[in-house]
Every structure is written in structure tokens, then in C-alpha cells.
Amino acid sequence: EKAGFKHFMAKEIAEQPAVLGDAINHYVKKDGLDLPEGIDFAGLDRLTLVACGTAYYACAVAKYWFENLARLPCEIDVASEFRYREPPMPAKSWAIFVSQSGETADTLAALRYCNEKVEKTLAVVNVPTSSMAREADLALPIHAGVEVGVASTKAFTCQLLSLAVLALKAGVDRGHITETQLAAHLEGLRALPGLMNTALGTADEIAGLAEKLAEAQDILFLGRGPLYPLAMEGALKLKEISYIHAEGYASGELKHGPIALIERTVPVIVFAPHDRLFDKTVSNMQEVMARHGKVLLVSDARGLREASEGTWATLKMPEVAEPFAPILYALPAQLLAYYTAVAKGTDVDQPRNLAKSVTVE
């Protein structure tokens, strides 16, 4: 069942180009987006996205998309906080619940709360027969296929894809994306499986770096814009399976505290495609290097040309359409966690203390 791979997680990481391609084919047709009836974001005042764990980080990326591509005010929350805070919900709002299993207790409770309060609830799930799919007004399957590894990988990138498609639809509905712009964004999405294949080509290099990372006590992840949630996801993945303490920060937050942690033994992994915020991230990275932090810069050819000097290591990603960079950069984040765990000899598919689906609080 592992198809020759040592772990389900390795198989599920490697599957992503094919799986994402399949998910794209479900929602992106030659002449545009193909979504279930009843999804129209035109008159909304606000969108709320609720989830737990990795699914929450997918929501945190999507917030950038809904705000930038559709100018739709967007709140995100972890389900365990949302459900007990019982926040007021504007009548003209929708709420989206993101969950691989569709059974996570807190997310399901948040969905039930919103079913009474908002115009429409939408479940973005991998299991189409799940409680959330049944109880939400609308269900959108992410088409990732069965995910066995406790550490979520292909479900994360497929959650991102589904949310990207929804954000594009919102942009069109709200008049912020023209037909020409939509066509360009869809090209950007269609290019992803090929780019992911290229990214998977860094696996051996990452395995080499992981030997060193496995010796660390603490590892920091940095990113800006939509790469900030990816930094948090990278840290979650790493701590989950390698048991190394890791934190994801917005690059700009570094000098507000975490920079005090920097010393020779602390690796700092920076996700920084050459986007409009690149120079800002580089200056944060230089602050780390000035304090002898070991920087691993993950960027594209242009970014590496401009900013490799003084880093401990670099990883080259192909160029990617700017908004969708987190979908591609998820792969090195997953591979770094995977190979570090393998180097430490942990139980990658069944990490201690964790369950695949958290159906009790």
C-alpha cells in the first residue's frame, strides 16, 4: 500500500503533483471555474474561516487570497476558540469550515453554531460522507484521496487549492477579477503540478540538510504575506513528527522578541519567493545572520541570486504565480519535516500522542 515508499507520509508527499492535478481538473475547466450551484460571494459583508491544526493554516493562507483577490473582509479562527467565544456574526456573511476528516469535534461544533447564525455554511472536506459535509449547507470535496499519515500533507495542498478556487470565484463575483485576470490566475494554478514535480527534485538535498537539522533543539520558520502561515505550518509539521521544538513567525515580528533566541545552534528556515515583500524578508534574514543564526533560504533563482550570501544553505524552487507560492513551498516544508524525522528515527506515520482525527475535545 505504501507503493515502495518507506512511509505513507513519503508516498503522500510524492503523490501531490498527480493529486493536485486531479483536484484542479475538478474545479477548473477550459472555459473557467466549475463550482457547485449556489456559491456566489457578491453581496457578502464578511467571510469567516474556521478549522484546527494544518487545516487552520490553510485558512490563514486563504485569508490573504480572499482579501487581496476579492476584497472580501475575512476572519479566521481556530475552532476550539471560536466555538466557545460565540462571536457575533453579521447576517450577510458566510462561514467556511475546513477539515480533512470532516469529523473534528471542535470544527463540527463551530459549524453547528454558524448553521444558526449565517446565511450559508460551506464544508471544505476530504471525506465527502463526513458529518461536516452532511451538516453544512454546501460541501466542497478537496479530492485528495485517502490520507493515512497523521501529518497532513496532500490534504493541506488540496485544501489550499480548493480555497484558492473559492477566492477566485469571490473575486469574479465581486467584480475585482476580470476575465483576462481570471485566465492568468487559472494558468498559474494549472502550472502547479509541474512545478511541484520540480520541487520534489530537491528531496535528496533536503535529506542531506535534515541530518544537521536533526541535531537542533529549536528551529524557527519565517515568512511574510501568505508565506507567514506556511512558516507556521512548516513548524507544526516539524514538531509533530520530529519532536523538535519549532515556531513559525511573520518575518516582521522577529525583532519583537524571537530574535533573542538566535545563536549558532538555531537554524532559521526562511520561505521567501522573489515577491514584492522579498527585500523586507531579506533584511530580517540579515538580522538573523548578523547574530550567527544558521539560515536556510528557500527561494527562486532570482531570490537566491540576490540574497544567498552568508546563508548556511539554500533550496531552489521554480518561479510560481505570486499568490499561489504557498501551495508550492508547502513541499519543501513537508520534506524538511519528513527527512528530519527520518534522521531522528521517529515513528513518522504514527507520531507519539497524536491521532489522525480528533473527534473528542
Residues in touch with ligand M6R (CB under 6 A): 52-55, 99-101, 104, 107, 150-152, 240, 357-358
Whole-angstrom Cα distance, residue 178 to residue 193?
25
Q: Shortest distance, CB of residue 242 to ligand M6R, whole angstroms?
A: 13
Q: Shortest distance, CB of residue 349 to ligand M6R, whole angstroms?
A: 11
Whole-angstrom Cα distance, residue 72 to residue 354?
35
Q: Shortest distance, CB of residue 240 to ligand M6R, whole angstroms?
A: 6
Closest to ligand M6R by CB, 256 or 352: 352
Q: Shortest distance, CB of residue 320 to ligand M6R, whole angstroms?
A: 23
Residue 277 has what DSSP assignment? Answer: T
| φ, ψ dihedrals at 262, nearest 5° | -70, 130
Closest to ligand M6R by CB, 151 or 199: 151
Closest to ligand M6R by CB, 16 or 99: 99
Closest to ligand M6R by CB, 41 or 56: 56
Please list, in sequence order, all residues whose beta carbon lies within 8 angstroms of the beta carbon of residue 41, skipping any fewer than 6 positions away: 47, 70, 72, 94, 169, 170, 173, 174
Closest to ligand M6R by CB, 154 or 294: 154
Q: Shortest distance, CB of residue 302 to ligand M6R, whole angstroms?
A: 31
Q: Shortest distance, CB of residue 351 to ligand M6R, whole angstroms?
A: 8
Largest Cα span, the chain: 55
Written as one string, the DSSP assignment of 21-41 is HHHHHHHEETTEE---TT---
Closest to ligand M6R by CB, 53 or 225: 53
Closest to ligand M6R by CB, 129 or 265: 129
Q: Shortest distance, CB of residue 57 to ligand M6R, whole angstroms?
A: 8
By Cβ distance, which residue is nearest to ligand M6R? 53
Q: What angle do CA 336, 185, 63 make, to 5 degrees?
A: 60
Closest to ligand M6R by CB, 149 or 273: 149
Can you list the pairs that 135-138 forms with residues at least 24 positions away whose Cβ atoms lie under 8 Å? 135/108, 135/111, 136/97, 136/111, 137/38, 138/36, 138/38, 138/39
Q: Shortest distance, CB of residue 136 to ligand M6R, whole angstroms?
A: 13
- Cell numbers for 104, please give them: 473534528
Whole-angstrom Cα distance, residue 134 to residue 58?
22
Query: Three-state DSSP class for 297?
Result: strand
Please list, in sequence order, all residues whose beta carbon lies within 8 angstroms of the beta carbon of residue 201, skipping any fewer than 6 positions away: none
Chain centroid offset of residue 326 CA: 6
Q: Shortest distance, CB of residue 295 to ligand M6R, whole angstroms?
A: 25
Closest to ligand M6R by CB, 77 or 240: 240
Q: Are strands 93-99 and 32-33 parallel, antiparallel or unpaired?
A: unpaired
The residue assigned the cell 538573523 is 288
